[in-house]
Structure 1
Amino acid sequence: MNLVLTGSTSGIGWETLKALMPIADRVFLPVRNIKKAEKMIQHLFQKEKIVLIPMDLSIMAEVKKGAIQILEQCKEIHLLINNAGGMFPAGKKTSEGLDLTFATNHLGPFLLTRELMPALIRGEAKIIHVSSIAHQIATDPSKDFGLLKSANTGTAYGKGKLYNILFSNELKNRFESKGISTYALHPGAVKTAFGSETSLWAKLIIEVSKLIFISPKAGAQTTIFLATTPKSQLRNGGYYIKKKPKTPSPLARNQKLSAALWDYSEAVLKNLGVI
């Protein structure tokens, strides 16, 4: 099995990596900090399976370059886990002029998946998206998909997590006939470094909430379950909590919205000149 996993150097991504290493043949890790990743993996058993790919998911030019590097080394991908994400101050922009929450939580994973699609189709891959129950707080984003007018950190994050589910649904609509299966999940309230780059007020809320948070290892279990369970026992396009399919919000089930988000995402990427 060839695996691509984002967000692997902390939290549930790290626990997911350790759990899946024994069953993977090659593991491609797009990482923002190569030195940190090299230090973390040096004591892993079978670390020779790992290929580190320099990539900041919030910078589309880097995502494009990293995807090309993966495809040069791997013609079939069997499992893609879009795990990376984060909560950032509302209105914070990337060097390409994108909202940071939009770029990191949606557009980067969207571009990576899109670029890897030929190899994903050859591998009849599973694509897993780490979303959140926070998607339920999102209001209709159709007039501001790019979050350029969003002034609230929490609601912007909620829309980013809504996009994970909408993206998963649209992948099913477009690629199920080509052997692709896709899933979104809520990992639980996980005690990680999540939110470390957001506002002081949001940090305070997160720190207080950590009293009831679960461990990263516990939070990774649904991802690992989806990665290792045969497709025949899973619901393609499903949204999972605690290894069980659940019903997401009405917005998350809106097929017109998922198609519109896809079209908007491609338009932004074309404007940036990366597709």
Structure 2
Amino acid sequence: MSRDLAGRTVVVTGASSGTGAEAARLFAARGAEVVVLGRSPRRTRAVAEEVGGTAHLADFAVLADVRRVAEELREAHPVVHVLADNAGGAFPSTEPTADGHEPNYQVNALAPMLLVALLTPALRAGRGRVVSTSSRSHKGATLEAGNVGEQLDNPLGLGPHQRYARAKLAALLLHRAYASRHPDVPVADFHPGIVASDFGRYLGAVGAVAKVLGRPFLASPRTAAHRLVHLATTADPVAGRYFAHTTPAAPNALVLDADLAEAVWSDADARLDRALERA
């Protein structure tokens, strides 16, 4: 494989297993200096050792963790060429995080946005880009500009998959608002396919059975990682686009609602300010 990424620094979040770990391997095979960011100390360090990169630990359910790891990264890597924003998950619990937010929203939208914001100087220095793992499930989600915070914190009547979908929609909206403020940092969102490593994990026993039965029809983590790496390295324009696999696709029409994006941004900005004040 070509080593065309030699001298490039790539940060991969959610890299201790699955698509993130495979992406770390692919980036490393192309010569990049890979920063492996994950929650599990053992698995994160194992992947970092395998790819010859560095391991950093953070739990996105704790915003102070995100701030700490961002400070570590800025000190160790003042120039970042790619942030592969892959961390996330679907959570059945509605119990608020330690920061007081609905867990799907914090892990899939707030925490990744905080990391992007804190790494913006390093991304600017490297003329870098962000590639964020989204989900086509966001297309079925709804959100209104009025009282956004209440909708995100108290998604009454929504099941785990619906709360996850709304969080992914919020992430896309945050990226659009970010792009209006930082047009020099391209952000691309992509649906990697329904990946074997993640499928059904929020559906308990039913999901476990479906995962086994559906595996022949699912994308492998390796396939999803190839798609991520393509979008991280292609010369084609990616800024502000949503991709299904590696093909530009139409997102939920709400993603194009500038007023809604600003409402989500303002709410998130206030939440993150409070979190940083406490940290």
Pair in the same fold by TM > 0.5: yes
Q: Deviations over 1:8-46 (max 9, x none)?
A: 1211111111111133542222221122222334344xx
Q: Aligned partners of 1:261 and 1:201: how far apart in 2?
A: 33
1:192 aligns with 2:197: yes
Contact 1:187/1:223 (8 A) holds in 2: yes
Residue matched to 1:267: 270
Q: TM-score, normalised by structure 2?
A: 0.87
Q: TM-score, normalised by structure 1?
A: 0.89
Match for residue 71 of structure 2 among 48, 68, 76: 68
1:98 aligns with 2:101: yes
Judging changes above 3 Å, is the alpha-carbon distance between structure 1 residues 225 and 95 closer, same or farther for their aligned structure 2 residues?
same
Query: Once structures 1 and 2 are overlaid, which stretch shifts more, 94-103 or 76-85?
Result: 94-103
Pairs aligned (count): 267
Contact 2:16/2:39 (8 A) holds in 1: no
What secondary structure sits across from 1:57 in the alignment?
coil
Q: Aligned partners of 1:66 and 1:198: how far apart in 2?
A: 31
Residue matched to 2:80: 77
- In the TM superposition, 1:99-248 aligns within 5 A as 99-142=102-145, 143=148, 144-150=150-156, 151-176=158-183, 179-196=184-201, 199-201=204-206, 203=208, 206=211, 208-230=213-235, 233-248=236-251
Name the amino acid aligned to 2:9.
N
Q: Structure 2: 5+ residue runs without aligned partners?
A: 1-7
Name the amino acid aligned to 2:188.
Y
Query: Once structures 1 and 2 are overlaid, which stretch shifts more, 160-169 or 76-85?
Result: 160-169
Q: Aligned partners of 1:222 and 1:165: how far apart in 2?
A: 18
What secondary structure sits across from 1:220 in the alignment?
helix
Q: Structure 1: 5+ residue runs without aligned partners?
A: none
Residue matched to 1:19: 26
Tell me how far 1:215 sits from its aligned partner: 1.1
Contact 2:108/2:171 (8 A) holds in 1: yes
Tell me how far 1:199 sits from its aligned partner: 4.4
CA RMSD of aligned residues (A): 2.1
What secondary structure sits across from 1:192 in the alignment?
coil
Contact 1:87/1:198 (8 A) holds in 2: no
Q: Aligned partners of 1:202 and 1:253: how far apart in 2?
A: 32
Contact 2:26/2:226 (8 A) holds in 1: no
Contact 1:3/1:77 (8 A) holds in 2: yes
What secondary structure sits across from 1:77 in the alignment?
coil
